[in-house]
């Protein structure tokens, strides 16, 4: 799973879906996940049901097969994605249909009241996330998603530093920071000098670390949208929200703290729990959205 939570919604009343899905979307975003939905009104032959994290299905579909029959067909395909099976007829009828078809991995809900339906969906979403994401998996997810942010910054930098003036500014910026690093290095004598292996920005940018890319992006933001970013501390905020936590996570180990599993930094001075991972997921989504806007 990545930071997109994929829901297949099989329902023929589009207006009803639109009336309740905002609450589900808000819940997922509060957990640090993007809501992705495919809405279909009936069985579709070209759907890969295993691509979804959750299936929401109405009993009384407009076309055959009905909901219970379709769930049975999905299970026969070897797909065991969790399903919330719902109906205006009430839960007892749904359970009877489920027993008749010997359905597995199915949760039942009435269609009304809407709050009860939404609460059941929220509970199942939370359960599906807990099943597939222990803390070490969450760490891997964060590392992978931050790598995606790095790749997005590469694209933005390469597309913006495409004039002689901007290229000179980029060279000056990177050279200044690397010279500072040389002066601070304990393994280098005072005679160390910086030299570029190439002047081709397409080769330089991928060699930069996350911090250097963020500094370059700060220049781009100040040059292209000064009214929004000239007074903002984009670089400092990005380091605090994304780079520092990623670096700390890279050297963590699992430990039981107050009866709960957490990840602990190498020197034991910081703990990472579910709340931390929820916050960093939300920050990753925030910067991913910003980078997409810049790329467009």
**Residues with Cβ within 8 Å of residue 173, at least 6 apart in sequence:** 215, 216, 219
Chain centroid, CA 39 distance in Å: 21
Our measurement of the distance from residue 123's CA atom to the centroid of its chain's CA atoms, rounded to an integer in Å, reads 19
Q: Residue 247: helix, strand or coil by DSSP?
A: helix
Which residues sit opposite 107 in a β-bridge?
Answer: 84
Nearest in space to 285 (alpha carbons), one of 251, 241, 219, 231: 241
Helix (H) or strand (E) holding 84: strand 83-87
Tokens of 34: 């993007």
75: its two tokens? 């299970």
Whole-number Cα distances in Å, 144 to 209, 233, 246, 281: 15, 25, 10, 12
Q: What is the pTM of this model?
A: 0.77
- Give me the tens of pLDDT residue by residue for the chain, a chain 296 residues long: 689 999 999 888 899 999 999 999 999 999 999 999 999 887 777 888 889 999 998 877 756 667 777 888 888 878 888 889 888 877 777 787 777 777 777 888 888 788 889 999 999 999 888 876 777 788 888 899 999 999 999 998 888 776 666 667 666 766 776 666 666 666 666 666 666 555 567 777 877 889 888 988 888 888 777 666 655 688 899 999 999 999 888 888 877 777 777 788 777 777 888 888 899 999 999 999 989 988 87
Q: Are 108 and 85 in contact (CB under 8 A)?
A: yes
Which residue, among 185, 179, 245, 251, has the nearest Cα to 212 in the 3D structure? 179
Quote the strand ranges of 47-88, DSSP E: 54-58, 83-87
> What residue ranges define each of the domains in the chain, with the CATH number in brackets?
4-132 (3.40.50.2300), 135-295 (no CATH)
Question: Could you tell me which residues come within 8 angstroms of residue 19 by beta carbon, excluding any fewer than 6 positions away?
Answer: 114
Longest dimension (CA), the chain: 82
């Amino acid at each position: 799973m990545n930071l997109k939570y994929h829901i297949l919604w099989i329902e023929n009343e589009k207006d009803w879906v639109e009336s309740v899905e905002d609450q589900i979307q808000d819940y997922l975003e509060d957990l640090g996940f993007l809501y992705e939905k495919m809405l279909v009104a009936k069985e579709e032959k070209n759907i890969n049901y295993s691509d979804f994290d959750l299936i929401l299905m109405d009993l009384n579909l407009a076309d055959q097969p009905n909901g219970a029959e379709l769930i049975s067909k999905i299970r026969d395909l070897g797909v065991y994605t969790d399903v919330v099976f719902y109906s205006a007829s009430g839960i007892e009828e749904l359970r009877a249909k489920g027993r008749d078809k010997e359905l597995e991995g199915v949760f039942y809900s009435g269609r009304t009241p809407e709050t009860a339906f939404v609460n059941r969906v929220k509970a199942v979403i939370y359960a599906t996330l807990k099943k597939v994401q222990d803390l070490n998996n969450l760490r891997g997810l964060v590392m992978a998603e931050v790598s995606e942010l790095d790749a997005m910054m590469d694209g933005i930098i390469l597309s913006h530093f495409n004039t002689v003036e901007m290229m000179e500014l980029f060279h000056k910026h990177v050279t200044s920071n690397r010279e500072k690093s040389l002066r601070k290095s304990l393994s280098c004598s005072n005679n160390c000098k910086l030299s570029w292996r190439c002047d081709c920005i397409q080769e330089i940018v991928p060699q930069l670390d996350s911090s250097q890319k963020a500094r370059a992006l700060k220049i781009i933001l100040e040059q292209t949208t000064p009214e929004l970013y000239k007074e903002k501390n984009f670089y400092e905020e990005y380091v605090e929200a994304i780079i520092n936590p990623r670096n700390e996570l890279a050297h963590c180990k699992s430990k039981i703290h107050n009866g709960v599993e957490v990840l602990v930094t190498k020197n034991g001075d910081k703990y990472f729990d579910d709340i931390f991972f929820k916050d960093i997921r939300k920050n990753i989504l925030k910067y991913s959205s910003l980078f997409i806007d810049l790329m467009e």
